[in-house]
Structure 1
Amino acid sequence: MSRVGVLALGPAGVGKSTFCNSIIAHMQSIGRRAHIVNLDPAAEATEFEFTIDIRDLISLQDVMEEMDLGPNGGLVYCFEFLLNNLDWLDEEIGDYNDEYLIFDCPGQIELYTHIPVLPTIVKHLQTSLNFNLCATYLLEAPFIIDTSKFFSGALSAMSAMILLELPHINILSKIDLVKDEFSRKQLKKFLNPDPLLLSNEDEEYNPKFSKLNKLIANLVDDFGMVQFLPLDCSKDSDSVATILSYIDDVTQWSESQEPKEPVDEEFDVDAEYE
C-alpha cells in the first residue's frame, strides 16, 4: 500500500501551521487519522503535537549558537544535515501506511525555489518510502489583492511547482482577514485569475513597470495552471473539506484503501423505488 503525504509550502507567516492543524482537526472529525511531520527546525507545536519533529535531530537555535550562523544560513545547514541523515527520517516515519502525513515546511521559500533541498527529500519519499505526495502552496489573500503582489506570489508558486514536480494545489489563506465588501469582490477574480486582464490594471503606472507586468502575465497565462482555492480556518469548515477532497483526488487516497467486506443485509428492491 502506498503512503500519502502532503507538503505545506509558502512564505513565512502565511498560515501553514494553522492550515496543517485545520486539516488534522477536520480529518479527526470525520474519523480519519493524520500526523504532522515538522520539517521546520525553528517551529513550535501549536494545536496538535508533532508526531515527527526535525528538532529531535537538529534545531536551528543550536546551529546558530554553535556555528555562529544567521537564521537563513543556519536553516540551510539544518537541511544539509538532514540530507546526510535521511535514515533518521526513514526510521521516524516507520510503518505509517493508511494515514496522512502532513509535512509542515519552513517559510524560507529558497529551500524549494532556488536550492535542491526539498526536491531531494521529495524524491527520497517517493522512491525509497513509496509516498504519493501532493504540494500545497499558500499565499495570503490580503497580500495578493495588489495585482503586482499577485504576480510575485504566482511566480513563486510556479517555481515551486516546477522544481518539485509534484501535483500542486495553490491556496489563498486568511480569507477571513479580507473584511470590506469591495476587497472581497476583488478577491474573487484572483481565485481563477486571467493574468492578461490583471496586467491591464497597472497601465497607470510607469510604462516600463506595465510592460514588465504584461510579460509576466503572458508567462503565467502560458503556464496555464495558476488557480487558487480559498481557505478560511476561522469559521468556514467547508473550505478545509474542499481542499482535502482535492488532495484526496491528486494523491489517489481512496484507491489505496483496503476494500471493505460487504455487509449482508436484506434489501427490498421494490421498496427502494416506490
Structure 2
Amino acid sequence: MARVFQRLERERYSLVTVNLIDSHYCSEPAKFIATLLMALNTMMRMSLPHVNVLSKADLLRKHESKLHFNVDYYTDVLDLKYLLEKLDDDPTMRKYQKLNEAICSMVEDYALVSFQLLDAFSTDSMLRLRNHIDKANGYVYKAGEEQTVNSLLACAVGAESEAVRQQNDVQPYVE
C-alpha cells in the first residue's frame, strides 16, 4: 500500500485516510480501547493525514443507555482514566490493567486520536465530514481553487464555537 500511496502522491493526488468505526464500540470500554489501538495502528501504517469516524451515529440513541459517558467523551478522547475505572469493574479485564493503562496513556499524552460523528442519512453530517476531510488533506488550501480570505480563515480556524459544535455534532445523536 505504501508504494501505491507514494505513486499517487507523485501524481499530485492529495490523499487522506478515513477510518470508519461503528459507533456501537463506544458502548463497552474494552471495545473502545481496542478501537483506539486500531486507529493508532492505521495511522502509523498509512502515514497519511488521518480522519477517524464513528459511523452510524444515528444509532447512538439506541446504545445511549449502555454509554458510560457523554458522546463528546468518545469523540474528543481526552481523559481516559474514567474509562479505565469502568474497566476495573470487569473482573476479566483486571489482568490487562497495565496494558490498558499504557494504551490509554499513549493516546492521552500525544492527543493522537479523536473522532468525527457520521450519520449517513443526514446531509449535514455528510457535508461536515467532507469539510473535515478536505481540511485534513489540505484541499482547502490548494492553489488554483476558488477561495476567499473568509473561507480560508473559516477552514483554518474551525470558525465555530464549542456550543455550535456540540449542537451540530453531538446533540442530534442523544436525547
Report the TM-score when normalising by structure 1: 0.47
2:61 aligned partner: 179
CA distance 1:242–1:208, change in 2 (3 Å): same
Greater strand share, structure number: 1
2:136 aligned partner: 250
SS of 2:105's equivalent in the other structure is helix
Instruction: Kindly indicate whether the alpha-carbon contact (under 8 Å) linking 2:39 and 2:52 is maintained by their aligned counterparts in 1.
Output: yes
CA deviation vs aligned residue, 1:136-176 (integer Å, no higher than 9, x gap): 11110012321111111111111111121111111000111
1:208 aligned partner: 95
- The reply to whether residue 219 of structure 1 matches residue 106 of structure 2 is yes
CA–CA distance in 1 between the matches of 2:103 and 2:141? 39
What residue ranges of structure 2 are gaps of 5+ in the alignment?
A: 147-175
Please identify the structure whose Cα radius of gyration is greater.
1
CA–CA distance in 2 between the matches of 1:225 and 1:150? 15
Amino acid at match of 1:216: I
Report the TM-score when normalising by structure 2: 0.71
Instruction: Kindly indicate whether the alpha-carbon contact (under 8 Å) linking 2:28 and 2:66 is maintained by their aligned counterparts in 1.
Output: no
CA–CA distance in 2 between the matches of 1:259 and 1:210? 50
CA–CA distance in 2 between the matches of 1:258 and 1:145? 44
Q: Which residue, 126, 134, 137 being the options, matches 2:9? A: 126
Deviation of 1:248 after TM superposition, in Å, equals: 1.6
CA distance 1:250–1:186, change in 2 (3 Å): closer
In the alignment of these two chains, the number of paired residues is 141
Instruction: Kindly indicate whether the alpha-carbon contact (under 8 Å) linking 1:200 and 1:214 is maintained by their aligned counterparts in 2.
Output: no
CA RMSD of aligned residues (A): 2.1
Deviation of 1:257 after TM superposition, in Å, equals: 5.4
Structure 1 residue ranges (4+ consecutive) displaced by more than 6 angstroms after TM superposition: none
CA–CA distance in 2 between the matches of 1:242 and 1:212? 35
What residue ranges of structure 1 are gaps of 5+ in the alignment?
A: 1-117, 261-274
Deviation of 1:251 after TM superposition, in Å, equals: 2.2
Instruction: Kindly indicate whether the alpha-carbon contact (under 8 Å) linking 2:51 and 2:136 is maintained by their aligned counterparts in 1.
Output: no
